[in-house]
Amino acid sequence: MRYVGVAAASGGATAANSARREPMHETLSQWSLTELRGRLRGGEVSATDAVRACLERIAADNAALRAFIYVDEDGALRAAQEADGRRARVAGFGAAALRGIPLAIKDMIDVQAMPTTAASRVLAASAPAEEDAECVRRLREAGAIMLGKTNLHEFAFGGSGVVSAFGAVPNPLDRTRVSGGSSSGSAVAVATGMCFGALGTDTAGSVRLPAACCGVVGFKPTWSQVPVAGVIPLAWSYDHVGTLARTVEDAGELYAVLAGEAPGWRPCRILRCGVPRQYFCEGLQPEVAAGFERALNAVRTLGWTLREVELEVTEDRRVSNAETWAFHRNWHGADARALAQRRARRGCGVDADLAGAAAHVARDGRAGGAHRGAEDAAQHKAFQCAGLAVGHGALRGVGRTGDGRRAGQRRMGAGLAGALGRPRTGAGDANEGRSLSSRCIHANV
């Protein structure tokens, strides 16, 4: 394992492979997960080829993009050789859905023998995890290869990807702009061919926002469908583990493994879909609004039934803020008392918030009424809404004081589980010409 921080990975096999820059590896690193899996099973390429292709991309681009915090080069190559050896001993790669597929894991999620830092100096010297988080264990059991840990907005508490002890993560389509957050490194790693899929976490948009900014598919599953054991919490009543991938099909395959569902992509041709324009479609930039309408028209051609719905959205953050404080308060030490005194003078003492939030959850259920609008939700298998109200902002000028505040979160965020967004950004868009709908819709059942 090697700590890479803001520097390029160097030495060992990575440097040697980077020097060669084999053309096949350049092409291979841009395949979808499902294409790679088919070619692995057909014997056209090896798992070692796939891992080396990813390591080459990391060596070439990570110094500038800072997508990875840690790269376990030796471990990944060893796992790839084991996968290739298994193929030599038995016919094909067996039934394991992800055997030989190199993946990346957001550094909020435990991976055995790797530290979990949450991109914070607070945990930078933490001991390696003793075991995998349950979601990682499921991926590994399916044969996936863990390349390393990806960068993020510190402790997942922000939507830009700028605030990190290991440096801001710029957008690979335009490095003067933000990559979105908090799962910024995972999105960038997928977009640039450093891995074939990645895990992120999503509490209020942290998988979907960077996916929208970087031109990949981000999927936030239904709450509790993917275990969060072994994941550092932001607000446990809202936290999800989600996937970032190059295609909707890839996202579906990863989700099937994570949720313990039967493997195999099952596209849905007829779906009842709610369209909550109120709140989610307010203040859209014209090009984003136009892309959203194209998406609606595209799914109509698939036979979907669309119906305008209203969902109650609350900006009451008492529960999530209280849960975040409950996890972080001991690290503040003497500062915690001063913070509590300041909040008490403003009439919002921390302990009172915690007590009030606990009563709120007891009265209204999980997440302080997060499932309001259940009548509409029960009648629809999916909801479609814009992932970003505005295009991704400039990297410079987004900082600790202005990032992640309520107005910014409302402008940047999508609020429904299962609704994925990707605005067309014009020049420099790696997916120019593709319909928004092909990358933004997924049923939340």
Within 10 Å of residue 72's Cβ, how many Cβ atoms?
20
List of residues 6+ apart from 397 with CB closer than 8 A = none
Number of structural domains found in the chain: 3
* Domain co-membership, 355 together with 324: yes
| Nearest CA-CA partner of 301 in 269, 275, 272 | 269
**Structural domain contains residue 435:** yes
Structural domain contains residue 267: no
Q: Indicate whether 342 pLDDT > 50.
A: yes
Query: Residue for token digits 């096999």?
Result: 13
Residue 263 neighbours by CB under 8 Å, 6+ apart? 97, 253, 256, 257
Q: Is 166 helix (H, G, I), strand (E, B) or coil?
A: coil
Judged against a pLDDT cut of 90, whether residue 318 lies above it is answered with: no
Of 46, 106, 149, 164, the active-site residue reads 106
- pLDDT confidence of residue 425: 27
Instruction: Label residue 303 exposed, middle or buried (CB < 10 Å: 0-12, 13-18, 19+).
Output: exposed
Please classify residue 169 by burial: count the beta carbons closer than 10 Å to its beta carbon, then call 0-12 exposed, 13-18 middle and 19+ buried. Answer: buried
pLDDT tops 50 at residue 368 = no
The active-site residue out of 186, 206, 320, 437 is 206
Question: Which of the 8 DSSP states describes residue 9?
Answer: P
Percent of the chain residues topping a pLDDT of 70: 66
Picking from 14-18, 120-124, 182-186, 219-223, which range would have the lowest pLDDT averaged per residue? 14-18
pLDDT of residue 270: 75
User: Do 244 and 160 fall into the same domain?
Assistant: yes
Q: Of residues 18, 120, 182, 237, which has the active-site annotation?
A: 182
Say yes or no to pLDDT of 294 above 80. yes
Determine contact, residues 3/9, Cβ cutoff 8 Å: no
Instruction: Work out whether strand 102-106 and strand 145-150 pair parallel, antiparallel, or are unpaired.
Output: parallel
- Read off the CATH number of the domain in which 79 is found: 3.90.1300.10
Provide the domain limits for residue 430: 272-314+371-440
pLDDT in tens, 381-390: 666 676 666 6
What whole-number distance in Å separates Cα of residue 296 and Cα of residue 218?
Answer: 18
CA atoms of 53 and 61, how far apart (whole Å): 12
- Could you tell me if 140 and 229 lie in one domain? yes
Q: Is the pLDDT of residue 418 over 90?
A: no
Q: Where residue 187 falls among pLDDT bands split at 50, 70, 90?
A: very high
Query: How does residue 100 score in pLDDT terms, banded at 50, 70 and 90?
Result: very high
DSSP string, 62-80: HHHH--EEEE-HHHHHHHH
- Assess whether 421 and 352 both reside in one domain: no
30-34, 91-95, 206-210: segment of lowest average pLDDT: 91-95
Q: Which residues contact 437 (CB under 8 A, 6 or more apart)?
A: 294, 295, 296, 297, 298, 299
pLDDT of residue 102: 98
For the question of residue 149 being annotated catalytic, the response is no
Tell me, what's the pLDDT at 328?
Answer: 86
- Across the range 15-21, mean pLDDT stands at 42
Among 8-17, 36-45, 270-279, top mean pLDDT goes to 36-45
Q: Which of 216, 233, 259 is at the close of a domain?
A: 259
d(CA 183, CA 153): 7
Lowest mean pLDDT among 39-48, 102-111, 393-402: 393-402
Question: Is 381 labeled as catalytic in the residue annotation?
Answer: no
Is 265 a member of any domain? no
**Do 339 and 391 belong together in one domain?**
no
444 or 174, which is more confident?
174
Residue with tokens 């992120």: 200
Beta-bridged to residue 167, according to DSSP, are: none
Q: What's the rounded Cα separation, in Å, for the pair 172 and 162?
A: 14
The answer to which of 64-73, 258-267, 353-362 has the lowest mean pLDDT is 353-362
Q: What is the pLDDT of residues 250-270, one digit of tens each?
A: 999 999 999 998 766 666 667
Same structural domain for residues 307 and 410? yes
407, pLDDT greater than 80 = no
Q: Do 39 and 147 lie in a common domain?
A: yes
CA distance 159 to 207: 10
The pLDDT > 90 percentage for the chain reads 52
Q: Determine the Cα–Cα distance for residues 313 and 410; give it in Å rounded to an integer.
A: 11
Same domain flag for 144 and 253: yes
Query: Which of 164-178, 254-268, 351-365 has the least mean pLDDT?
Result: 351-365
Residue 206 annotated to the active site:
yes
Which are the contacts of 348, defined by CB distance < 8 A and separation ≥ 6?
none
Higher-pLDDT residue of 346 and 128 is 128
pLDDT-derived band of residue 330, with 50, 70 and 90 as boundaries?
Answer: confident
* Whole-angstrom distance, CA of residue 64 vs CA of residue 229: 32
310 with 322, same domain?
Answer: no
Helices (H) then strands (E): counts for the chain: 16, 10
Please report the pLDDT score of residue 86 as a whole number: 82
335 pLDDT more than 90: no
Helical packing angle, 47-65 and 73-89, nearest 10°: 160
Taking residues 287-301, what's their average pLDDT? Answer: 91
The owner of tokens 């259940």 is 374
Average pLDDT of the chain is: 78
Q: Is residue 266 part of a domain?
A: no
- pLDDT number for residue 375: 46
Q: In this structure, is residue 191 part of a structural domain?
A: yes
Query: 79 with 117, same domain?
Result: yes
Tokens of 440: 């933004």
Is residue 355 located within the same domain as residue 401? no
Shared domain for 421 and 323, answered yes or no, is no
Q: How many CB atoms lie within 10 A of CB 138?
A: 18
Alpha carbons 5 and 134: distance in angstroms, whole number: 26
